[in-house]
Structure 1
Amino acid sequence: MSFAKVFRTRSFRDVRQALLEREEIALVDVREEDPHARSHPLFAANLPLSRLELDAPVRLPRLAVPIVVFDDGEGLAERAAERLEELGYTHVTLLEGGLQGWRDAGGELFKDVNVPSKAFGELVESERHTPSMPPSQVQALLDREANVVVLDARRYDEYHTMNIPGSISVPGAELVLRARQIAPDPATRIIVNCAGRTRGIIGAQSLINAGVPNPVAALRNGTMGWTLAGQALAHGSSRRFDPHVDDHVRLVSADAARNVANRARVGRTSRDEARRWAGEAVRTVYRFDVRTPEEYEAGHVPGFRSAPGGQLVQETDMFAPVRGARVILADNDGVRANMTASWLAQMNIEVYVVDGLMPADFAEKSSGPSARHAPTPPAVDELTPTELRTLLQSPGTAVLDFTTSANYVEHHIPGAWFVIRSNLEQALLKLPAAQRYVLTCGSSLLARFAAPEVVALTGKPVQVLSGGTNAWIDADLPLEIGETRMASPRIDRYRRPYEGTDNAREAMNAYLEWEYGLVAQLGRDGTHGFHVI
């Protein structure tokens, strides 16, 4: 008889002490994103069990990093701990008592996603009294064609979905570099918006910190506030900043950004030292290129991942989930890395900017560095889209799609079942009897990891679609849309109240009320170490 391994545990008190002392620690919630968003500790990073082989090597790059795994009694944590050890991690423990243990010990619990960044944004507004303007006042300025520009600090795809009419897409890290050129008249009022509050507050305060001479304010409560005020949003807009920056503007912005970084006590490093640090086994090191994705694709410093600065500040828990890690930033102008670093330093992150980079250093044109410890996918029996189409003309074949629920609803192979891998055993019970199983996802990479598990649970032949659903689409084969055959619940993604165009007023109001309360929650939690310059 075989016995499951018994893992050591770490207590709430031990984890809290590590956070306070800035020791390296990865507090990992292995549930899916929706249950994670309902309740978790402040610095818990969401790495679902269903995707660990894909996500852990990128987000937890050092095999000796101390990892504390938890769930809320679903039985996922032990499975995740075993899988992490199989991936080579050497310091894996369980949170004593799981989420309930944290709660019972008096630990503060937070809702939503990207909470450290959102709480920090609220703290910035509270301490710096960042100016804001209500939607009605901004609308009045636009209606009378006043000397005002509205800059949208979100990702371009978010802006394109819905935006303030007449606004320009200028993602957060670009604001200090671009604002003086977009609004050269210092009398022009600059309004910075996002969907809710955080990126608008941080964006507006970035311009103020960098000494931009214009009057600056955040749009109070962003596009949600705009909608709640009964004002119409635009859709499908494509106004973006001019990629060319005047040399004088660039130099002035770079000098201002470095001064802000110095005030925040950002560290400095070189290309060679950053490479040497990344090769050491004693510290977790993240290296990020904080320019736009387009610039990154055109050429970047080897070893650096793309993390546009505004999103890096907004999603620190996603990009750099190890608290106490070393973060290194690069750009080619001295503006975006320094401004981004200034915020990370205030968030109690050890952060450095690479100085002295030359154009020749940005020579790498790959999609990004491969994870050093990425596992080799299992060998599987594959079939082509054409072969699968032939199989589906007769009964007996069940297609399991392990993509995200959003992708599945958008399009999937006709007859396929949506399955979350960590929910596989329960999902299979909902399927009709099958003679064989064919697995897919977008590329079939995740499906390859799931294949041995389907074999073990069913005892039936299992194949993987070569190239995944993407190959099926490229073969111009038919697709199905909608929430058909959902063998697993849609818990892999939390529906954000500030996304999309059909959110209920009650959900938006509740979200804003929650944000207003984050500063008080930070005080009760006491582990953040944030400081605002």
Structure 2
Amino acid sequence: MTTPLPQKSFHDVRQALLARQEIALVDVREEDPFAQAHPLFAANFSAGRIEIEAWNRIPRRDTAIVVLDNGEGLAEPAARTLQNLGYTDVALLAGGLQGWIDAGGEIFKDVNVPSKAFGELVESQRHTPSLSAEEVKALIDQKADVVVLDARRFDEYQTMSIPTGISVPGAELVLRAQALAPNPQTRIIVNCAGRTRSIIGTQSLVNAGIPNPVSALRNGTIGWKLAGQVLDHGAERQGRALTEKTSADAARQARAVADRAGVQRAQPADLAAFQAEAGRTTYRFDVRTAEEFSAGHLPGFLNTPGGQLVQETDVSAPVRGARIVLADTDGDGGVRANMTASWLAQMGWDVWVLDGSPAADWSETGQPAAAVPPPEGHTEWISPAQLSTWLQGDTAAETVVLDMTTSVNYVKRHIPGAWYISRTDLADALAKVPKAQRYVLTCGSSLLARYAVADVARLTGAEVFVLKGGTAAWITEKLPLEHGETHLASPRTDRYRRPYEGTDSPREAMQGYLDWEFGLVDQLGRDGTHGFRVI
């Protein structure tokens, strides 16, 4: 007989948050239903991806974990999976999401909500300067002395950007702004897609005390589009300028801001002590660019560029109350680590910046492999060539390909005839797929697909194989591809469509998103667990 899982109430979770105890509130629904309603500090872990995410996102096995869904029946199996992965303090949220609501818990929409709500709180308390889309366009049209810096990731910037805008992802702003605008009279405009990163980026420059006038583009590219103005697409401008003087100024300014925010300093010996400390989670993040990280980094650190870390704390550090240590090379004075840490400290994190790490310690190169458990049972691999033969031969009708990649990747390209299937709703999805004598599982690399072998075999009674190297290997072999929503066995709920991404969002959705952001400060007040403070 299976032992019942323990339960924790809304009040248990709330008390842990208020006491700043470590806790991971894990919502195991797909991203779209999660984005429709969840508690403030809930972190989204799709039930179908737990094996490939849990050890990296919740590194300590005795972390207090509370699992929830909204009555879909996902929470208990997911909690059992976590126990099988070695987690020893796993409980269900009593009553799930509805239990949270019934107990008086505040519910939030969208994704990355802690960071977005914090950004709104910053603006409300610091009155971060901003200009409307019309005002910024007039400055550009007049060829005024103005530079537009885009604080998003470079790929987001390339999708759509403000004309003349330069890509300078968030944590790079204080490091590079004065080299990009050396005349202190030059006005700097900071933008993102919506509001958060432009507010945080602008306030970073203000907090650092740079001499230039600085303003956020109010409501970002959403505001630009709502004003009927035209965006650029495919821009390549990247602001990587540095000078010896501006680097020294930025280092001094960033350290002063970090000190004011209460950021703590760690030496290599402290880092070793942190890692040996039982009962405490320590996240280690390198906040430089992916290229810099790949060229050489400290062992045990993960690459999370600073601007995205502030934007996506719920993704990178789902254990609320954990310790965070940030690393940045001393060549630029640790500007990015200090500025990133200044914001995390204000968001209630126990955050440290690593100082004094010898250059020789930055010895690892490339991207570290994810820590994942071995899958259940035996995996029977087949090559792309063998699968191609099966699909083209007399036995083609006997073979069905199941693709467990993200729905976005599936629509972009997939093996001809492959069915998109989510592991989260595997049984329901398989009922929509033609019966076959053999099933071949794939995803981008087949990392996730191999965890579904035992379940697919149990549910179908058929032979099950995994494509070696995944769809990426199929593509490398230059084998045929198919595009679009050709065979969907699962709904595309794995990805919440942000109203601020892409180029075709309806005006109503964009305006609704802005209205939602404007209400976040009031929601924070009603929730009462955030622990934010603005310097």
When the two structures are superposed, what TM-score results if normalisation uses the length of structure 2? 0.98
C-alpha distance in structure 1 between counterparts of 2:315 and 2:191, whole Å: 22
SS of alignment partner, residue 448 of structure 2: helix
The offset of 1:55, in angstroms, is 0.5
What is the 5 A alignment of 1:67-466? Answer: 67-242=65-240, 245-332=242-329, 333=332, 334-368=334-368, 370-371=370-371, 374-378=372-376, 379-393=378-392, 394-466=396-468
Contact 1:444 1:468 (C-alpha < 8 Å) held by counterparts: yes
C-alpha distance in structure 1 between counterparts of 2:306 and 2:199, whole Å: 15
The offset of 1:364, in angstroms, is 1.1
Contact 2:499 2:509 (C-alpha < 8 Å) held by counterparts: yes
SS of alignment partner, residue 439 of structure 2: strand
Contact 1:153 1:193 (C-alpha < 8 Å) held by counterparts: yes
The offset of 1:241, in angstroms, is 1.1
Structure 1, residues 71-98: CA drift from partner, whole Å, max 9, x if none? Answer: 0000000000000000000000000000
Aligned residue type for 1:308: P
Structure 1, residues 247-282: CA drift from partner, whole Å, max 9, x if none? Answer: 221111111101100110001101232133124332
Contact 1:303 1:369 (C-alpha < 8 Å) held by counterparts: no
Structure 1, residues 142-199: CA drift from partner, whole Å, max 9, x if none? Answer: 0010000000000000001110011100000000000110001000000000000000
Structure 1, residues 214-267: CA drift from partner, whole Å, max 9, x if none? Answer: 000000000000000000000000000125x21221111111101100110001
C-alpha distance in structure 2 between counterparts of 1:503 and 1:294, whole Å: 32
Alignment CA distance shift 1:517-1:420 (3 Å): same
The offset of 1:369, in angstroms, is 6.0
The offset of 1:9, in angstroms, is 0.3
SS of alignment partner, residue 445 of structure 1: coil
Long gaps (5+) in structure 2: none
Aligned residue type for 2:521: V
Structure 1, residues 502-521: CA drift from partner, whole Å, max 9, x if none? Answer: 10000000000000000000
Contact 1:306 1:368 (C-alpha < 8 Å) held by counterparts: no
More deviation, 9-18/428-437: 428-437
Contact 2:52 2:370 (C-alpha < 8 Å) held by counterparts: no
SS of alignment partner, residue 283 of structure 2: strand
The offset of 1:359, in angstroms, is 2.6
C-alpha distance in structure 2 between counterparts of 1:426 and 1:148, whole Å: 55
Contact 2:168 2:240 (C-alpha < 8 Å) held by counterparts: no
Aligned partner of 1:47 in structure 2 is 45
Aligned residue type for 1:173: A
The offset of 1:301, in angstroms, is 1.1
Aligned residue type for 1:439: L
Structure 1, residues 274-317: CA drift from partner, whole Å, max 9, x if none? Answer: 13312433211100000111111111111110000000000000
The offset of 1:361, in angstroms, is 2.6
The offset of 1:5, in angstroms, is 3.6
Contact 1:305 1:369 (C-alpha < 8 Å) held by counterparts: no
Contact 2:255 2:338 (C-alpha < 8 Å) held by counterparts: yes
C-alpha distance in structure 1 between counterparts of 2:495 and 2:272, whole Å: 35
Contact 2:149 2:168 (C-alpha < 8 Å) held by counterparts: yes
The offset of 1:4, in angstroms, is 4.1
More deviation, 155-164/3-12: 3-12
Aligned partner of 1:505 in structure 2 is 507
C-alpha distance in structure 1 between counterparts of 2:369 and 2:466, whole Å: 26
Contact 2:295 2:366 (C-alpha < 8 Å) held by counterparts: no
Count of aligned pairs? 528
Contact 2:293 2:366 (C-alpha < 8 Å) held by counterparts: no
C-alpha distance in structure 1 between counterparts of 2:172 and 2:366, whole Å: 23
Aligned residue type for 2:311: Q
Aligned residue type for 1:420: S
Alignment CA distance shift 1:287-1:124 (3 Å): same
Is residue 476 of structure 1 aligned with residue 473 of structure 2?
no
C-alpha distance in structure 2 between counterparts of 1:281 and 1:304, whole Å: 19
Alignment CA distance shift 1:447-1:370 (3 Å): closer
Aligned residue type for 2:455: E
The offset of 1:58, in angstroms, is 0.5
Contact 1:428 1:487 (C-alpha < 8 Å) held by counterparts: yes
Equivalent of 1:8 in 6, 9, 12: 6
Long gaps (5+) in structure 1: none
C-alpha distance in structure 2 between counterparts of 1:75 and 1:307, whole Å: 33
Contact 1:196 1:225 (C-alpha < 8 Å) held by counterparts: yes
C-alpha distance in structure 2 between counterparts of 1:369 and 1:488, whole Å: 29
Aligned residue type for 1:6: P
Contact 1:328 1:354 (C-alpha < 8 Å) held by counterparts: yes
Q: Sequence identity of aligned pairs in percent?
A: 64
C-alpha distance in structure 1 between counterparts of 2:276 and 2:374, whole Å: 21
The offset of 1:29, in angstroms, is 0.1
Aligned residue type for 2:279: V
The offset of 1:16, in angstroms, is 0.2
Aligned partner of 1:29 in structure 2 is 27
Structure 1, residues 38-93: CA drift from partner, whole Å, max 9, x if none? Answer: 00000000011100000001000000000000000000000000000000000000
More deviation, 346-355/274-283: 274-283
The offset of 1:318, in angstroms, is 0.3
More deviation, 466-475/112-121: 466-475
